């Protein structure tokens, strides 16, 4: 799947499109060397017992011990480089997904910033981890094949038992992983929502204090956090049940292999060395099945996280609707949007609109020189607390951020434009001053058209109506009836 944004066409990843096949194949080959070597260890030990110890051959013993040392050196080297390639691939895959989610955030989405952070971190990491899990799952399968072939050479019944018993065991493991996948997705959804609320609570602390809404916001986060905790506990129980069930299945299977091997040895169908090798291989089988359980859990969580990332990347870009582009004849219109870029661009190019950004530059000279027009009236409306004859340094650097913002707002008001658009004019002032400025703007612009592009509840409270997506209503109505609007404003 693909989507088109300002940055061009991008592929929306599924779990498998997020896999770096070339590097995963390389890591799988290296990891298979490790697991194959692990499977050969008990086989070599059995040969040592049959050909060297039983025959009292010192030379044979030394040769086979040397072979055993080479096997150990090979398997340890393979594991080292397999882990390096697999982990590096996982981190790069997670990085690419984080970049894609971040780019989507730049294009615009209706989601809260905290949720995007959770998706770009936790979900991206889980999907990326599939790149490190797959090589070891493939290697475990290779180890099983080596063990099965070795058992076939010693005993056809033992080899067939492993070869024919493994596929249904893997299918059962897949079925057991289904509840874990479902609960993992719910867990990530709840965790992302809790993260979103926490981030927006911290970032919106100034607004909350101004409204006296700290207690309500904390209570909201407490409810969200508890819901996330319950989902996490359910997912943890599902994971524990999954691991326990897989362990029970593999334990029963390995016990069956050991029993069959013991019976064959008692009947004289296996030598002492072959019996030792068969028991060692039965014990070795525990490792591949443990790897299968781990990989199955990683895949279940990865599928859930991949679905969440795909949902984010398929969100329609947050663009201004036709209703937001209708210029008001008079009065104050509030516009709440998570991505004002396109709207600001359209207003800036509109011949009948004066757009005042919140980060406008000041020039060297007095405050009055920067404001112009009816200086006193404009400064009063913008709550400027700097004398009109104060001389400013270059760029207004002699003022605080809030003072610079208020002088710039006074300049925009003094222009007396028929249609004035203000973008977040109070981000650097305290809540009390923000309330004074909101009242000042409403009074100063009475009878003329003013557009306030903001999420400030103090500014939105003085507007005649607010546009939020495809909705247009008063600020109070949207607060009462629209949860998404409340979340956007309180953040």
* Domain regions of the chain by residue span: 2-313, 322-490
Q: What is the pLDDT of residue 196?
A: 63
Query: Is the entire prediction scored with pTM above 0.85?
Result: no
Mean pLDDT by 10 residues, the chain (491 residues): 42 69 92 91 83 69 86 91 92 88 69 68 85 92 86 80 76 74 68 64 53 64 77 78 78 79 77 77 78 83 83 66 54 86 80 81 84 90 90 78 88 91 89 91 92 92 89 88 84 62
Strand stretches in 389-474, DSSP E: 391-392, 419-423, 449-453, 465-468, 471-473
- CATH class, domain 322-490, is alpha beta
Q: What is the pLDDT of residue 379?
A: 93
Among residues 97, 2, 111, the alpha carbon closest in space to that of 305 is found at 97
Helices and strands counted in the chain (H then E): 18, 10
Radius of gyration in angstroms for the set of CA atoms belonging to the chain, rounded to a whole number: 34
Residues 6+ apart with CB under 8 A from 74: 33, 37
Fold exhibited by the domain 2-313:
ABC transporter transmembrane region fold (1.20.1560)
Among residues 32, 49, 35, the alpha carbon closest in space to that of 277 is found at 49
Structure tokens, 287: 């490792």
Structure tokens, 68: 């055993």
Q: What is the pLDDT of residue 321?
A: 42
Q: What is the pLDDT of residue 437?
A: 93
CA distance 60 to 103: 64
Q: What is the pLDDT of residue 195?
A: 65
Q: What is the pLDDT of residue 113?
A: 60
Give 310: exposed, middle or buried? Use CB within 10 Å, 0-12, 13-18, 19+: middle
């Amino acid at each position: 799947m693909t989507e088109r944004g300002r940055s061009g066409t991008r592929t929306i990843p599924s779990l498998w499109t997020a896999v770096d096949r070339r590097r995963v194949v390389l890591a799988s080959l290296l990891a298979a060397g490790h697991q194959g070597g692990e499977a050969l260890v008990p086989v070599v030990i059995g040969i040592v017992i049959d050909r060297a110890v039983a025959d009292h051959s010192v030379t044979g013993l030394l040769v086979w011990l040397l072979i055993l040392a080479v096997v150990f050196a090979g398997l340890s080297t393979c594991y080292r480089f397999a882990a390096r390639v697999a982990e590096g691939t996982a981190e790069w895959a997670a990085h690419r997904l984080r970049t894609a989610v971040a780019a989507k955030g730049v294009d615009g989405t209706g989601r809260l910033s905290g949720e995007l952070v959770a998706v770009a971190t936790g979900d991206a990491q889980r999907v990326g981890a599939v790149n490190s899990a797959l090589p070891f799952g493939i290697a475990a399968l290779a180890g099983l094949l080596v063990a099965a072939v070795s058992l076939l050479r010693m005993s056809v019944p033992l080899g067939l038992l492993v070869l024919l018993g493994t596929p249904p065991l893997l299918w059962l493991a897949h079925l057991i992983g289904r509840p874990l996948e479902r609960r993992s997705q719910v867990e990530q959804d709840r965790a992302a929502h809790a993260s979103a609320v926490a981030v927006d609570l911290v970032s919106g602390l100034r607004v909350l204090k101004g409204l006296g809404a700290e207690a309500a916001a904390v209570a909201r986060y407490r409810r969200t956090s508890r819901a996330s905790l319950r989902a996490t506990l359910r997912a943890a129980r599902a994971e524990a049940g999954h691991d326990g069930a897989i362990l029970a299945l593999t334990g029963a299977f390995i016990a069956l292999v050991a029993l069959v091997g013991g019976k064959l040895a008692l009947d004289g169908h296996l030598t002492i060395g072959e019996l030792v090798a068969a028991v060692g291989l039965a014990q070795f089988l525990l490792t591949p099945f443990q790897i299968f359980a781990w990989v199955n859990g990683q895949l279940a969580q990865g599928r859930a996280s991949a679905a969440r990332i795909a949902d984010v990347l398929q969100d329609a870009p947050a663009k201004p609707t036709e209703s937001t582009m209708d210029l008001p004849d008079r009065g104050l219109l509030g516009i709440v949007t998570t991505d004002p870029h396109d709207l600001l661009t359209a207003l800036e190019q509109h011949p009948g609109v004066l757009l005042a950004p919140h980060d406008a530059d000041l020039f060297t000279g007095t405050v009055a020189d920067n404001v112009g027009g009816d200086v006193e009236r404009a400064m009063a409306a913008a709550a400027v607390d700097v004398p009109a004859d104060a001389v400013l340094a270059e760029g207004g650097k002699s003022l605080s951020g809030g003072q610079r913002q208020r002088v710039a707002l006074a300049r925009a008001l003094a222009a007396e434009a028929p249609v004035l658009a203000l973008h977040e004019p109070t981000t650097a002032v305290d809540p009390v001053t923000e309330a004074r400025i909101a009242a000042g703007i409403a009074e100063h612009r009475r009878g003329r058209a003013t557009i306030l592009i903001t999420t400030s509840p103090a500014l939105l409270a003085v507007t005649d109506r607010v546009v939020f997506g495809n909705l247009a209503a008063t600020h109070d109505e949207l607060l009462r009836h629209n949860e998404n609007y409340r979340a956007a404003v309180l953040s």
